[in-house]
Amino acid sequence: MKNLAVAGTGYVGLSCGTCFADMGNNVTFIDISEEKINMLRNGKVPIFEPGLSEMIERNIKAGRMHFTTNYAEALTDAEFIFICVGTPSGVDGEADLQYVRMAAESVAKNMDHYTIVVNKSTVPVGTGDWVADIITRSQPDPIPFDVVSCPEFTREGSAIYDFMNPDRVVLGSHNAEAAEKVAQLHLPLRARIVVTDIRTAEMIKYASNAFLATKISFINEIAAICERLGADVQEVAVGMGYDKRIGPAFLNAGLGYGGSCFPKDVKALEHMALVHGSHPSLLRAVIDINRDARRWAVLNLRELVGGKLANCRIGILGLAFKPNTDDIREAPAIEISRMLQSEGASVAGYDPVAMNNIARLDRNLHLVEDPYELATGADALLVCTEWNEFKQLDLPRVKGLMKQPVIVDGRNIYEPQVMYNLGFQYRAVGRGAALTNGF
């Protein structure tokens, strides 16, 4: 058993630290939010992640998880401190490192023995050296430490599974012995461990996320062409995915990527490239195509309701950026809702788990209790999140409740011919072959 401290109780920190505890380690979580720490002490989880609540409850009972706002308390016996704080986008797309700085300074002021500082947050290339410099300058007395980069590759909605079944573990450090100690923590996962220098490890994270975002934008570009030429992007994606060089993952055309990672990481990598004299043309195109995917929804809604959205009632099915999470950061639904409201539409929304989060963010978005209330009197419905609940709706009932039977499916969860047969005016992403037989 190892003693670990985890700074940050967001999606990354909680899932990562809880999994380490479940592997038999003693984990102390630190957060500057007393509200979050008190919730966790009382067994309440501040985020929605399948399986996480049950795992936290199990490990609290086993005495392997502890919560505090005090760095000195957390670091007393810690051999490792994982920095898992947020790195949101700044004004120009750069990663905002204020929380990383705060964590590094707090570690420096409270450590009293050799500790390995593990950067788990997604941070710009060079941050590991910057963190080491902050700790060195902020220590009251010189105490040895090492910094290791260990980027996370988990997905919200499947974070527990992804952590326990990784494709690889990436570690970067100037000290091979420190990297080896972090590698030992991950040995129970039986995953391939890639050890490199610290800057390369940081770049692996950005390059990986940027490539996946590029796949999403690529298939959305193909979807736009399919609509013009009468091809079906879903069949195109299947045919592409059988090629082992391409693979089927991230080839689902839709409203684009969102969440806490892809948007900010692509923008941060673009910013890094620009300030160091590179020309990130591909990254810019990825960002532009993703923005166009949101506009696609508004254009199709406008067309199908008769040319004007003013005074129309639009219902949005799904507010989280993806299913199985309550995270609404960079969610397509939020941007689309604001565009619709700017054109004079009245917008309502429903989501199985993200309602509380959206209520705090957008007071102009009317929230309802279920999809059928959303459909009542609506001029159109827009599918923004592919929750299974929406795939099983009583569609004839939905049609009977709507003012106009218009559905714009931003996630391609329905079959066009079925929707046409039910009497809907239906529009899907990139399904040109189906559209030629419909409205």
203 and 179 in contact (C-beta within 8 Å)? no
Does one domain contain both 155 and 23? yes
Q: What is the pLDDT of residues 219-239, one digit of tens each?
A: 999 999 999 999 999 999 999
Q: What is the pLDDT of residues 86-100, one digit of tens each?
A: 999 988 899 999 999
Identify whether 228 is part of a domain: yes
Tally of structural domains, the chain: 2
Positions marked catalytic: 261
Whether 250 has a pLDDT exceeding 90, the answer reads yes
**What's the pLDDT at 361?**
85
Identify whether 252 is part of a domain: yes
309 and 345 in contact (C-beta within 8 Å)? yes
Does one domain contain both 253 and 131? no
Nearest to 419 by CA among 388, 383, 378: 383
**What's the pLDDT at 438?**
47
Identify whether 309 is part of a domain: yes
What CATH number did the domain enclosing 84 receive?
3.40.50.720
Whether 196 has a pLDDT exceeding 80, the answer reads yes
- Boundaries of domain holding 383: 211-435
The percent of residues in the chain predicted with pLDDT above 70, rounded, is: 98
3-class DSSP assignment, residue 295:
helix
Whether 212 has a pLDDT exceeding 90, the answer reads yes
Q: How confident is the model at residue 339 (pLDDT cuts 50, 70, 90)?
A: very high
Whether 204 has a pLDDT exceeding 50, the answer reads yes
Identify whether 125 is part of a domain: yes
Q: Taking all residues of the chain, what is their mean pLDDT, rounded to a whole number?
A: 95
353 and 419 in contact (C-beta within 8 Å)? no
Lowest mean pLDDT among 68-82, 236-250, 358-372, 396-410: 358-372
Q: What is the pLDDT of residues 268-297, one digit of tens each?
A: 999 999 999 999 999 999 999 999 999 999
Identify whether 373 is part of a domain: yes
Alpha-carbon gap, residue 349 to 248, rounded angstroms: 31
Q: Of 148, 169, 196, which marks where a domain is finished? A: 196
Identify whether 110 is part of a domain: yes
